[in-house]
């Protein structure tokens, strides 16, 4: 399945007429640099007595930890990565700052401007097609290959900068821990 077909799945609304661009706008590079933004979302579990989502990160951010979802926004389109078990790409698109519409257990936290882009929409879509092949949904792993790993790789490709370190810190710590445990297991032939 191609990335461009992924957007058309049941949960996303069709693009509005304002989102339409001419062929010339699609293929030509922009006259002014386009912002590249990392949108960060808090993970939430359940609701409080007032019906508001309970943020997982309420006490964790003070000690430099937190569990987040992230997506990269360019040209008003936000791209991220998630699990799917049908062998299709895990790369998907949502309207800017609207990932909570397809992932109800998150809430928008903040936007971090990462830099600017001088590539055309066509060049962006070409890059996304390449990453969509690499990031199949069945390769999603909470610790080793999650939405934040994808956002980081896309951001590096677009502006040459990594996303802020706090966004994926727990997964990075978990990966180090798992690798530490795995090395002795390999030594014993497990």
- Indicate which residues carry an active-site annotation: 69, 147
Length of the chain: 190
Q: How far apart are CA 166 and CA 89, in angstroms?
A: 26
Tokens of 9: 């799945």
DSSP characters over 4-66: HHHTTSTTSPPPPGGG---HHHHHSPPSSPEEEEEEEEEEEEEE-TTSPEEETTTTTGGGT--
Pair 80, 68: CB distance under 8 Å: no
Q: How far apart are CA 91 and CA 68, in angstroms?
A: 17
Of the candidates 92, 108, 95, the one whose C-alpha atom is nearest the C-alpha of residue 39 is 108
Handedness of CA 168, 171, 177, 178 (dihedral sign): negative
């Amino acid at each position: 399945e191609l990335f461009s077909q992924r957007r058309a799945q049941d949960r996303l609304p069709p693009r509005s007429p304002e989102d339409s661009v001419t062929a010339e706008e699609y293929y030509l590079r922009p006259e002014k640099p386009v912002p590249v933004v990392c949108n960060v979302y808090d993970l939430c579990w359940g609701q409080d007595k007032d019906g508001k989502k309970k943020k997982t990160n309420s006490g964790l951010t003070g000690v430099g930890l937190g569990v987040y979802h992230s997506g990269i926004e360019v040209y008003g389109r936000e791209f991220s990565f998630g699990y799917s078990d049908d062998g299709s790409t895990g790369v998907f698109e949502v309207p800017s700052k609207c990932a909570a519409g397809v992932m109800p257990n998150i809430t928008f936290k903040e936007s971090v401007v990462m830099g600017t882009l001088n590539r055309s929409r066509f060049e962006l879509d070409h890059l996304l097609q390449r990453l969509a092949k690499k990031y199949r949904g069945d390769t999603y792993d909470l610790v080793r290959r999650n939405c934040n790993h994808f956002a980081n790789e896309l951001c590096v490709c677009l502006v040459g900068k990594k996303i802020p370190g706090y966004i994926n810190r727990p997964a990075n710590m978990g990966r180090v821990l798992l690798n530490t445990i795995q090395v002795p297991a390999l030594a014993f032939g497990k």
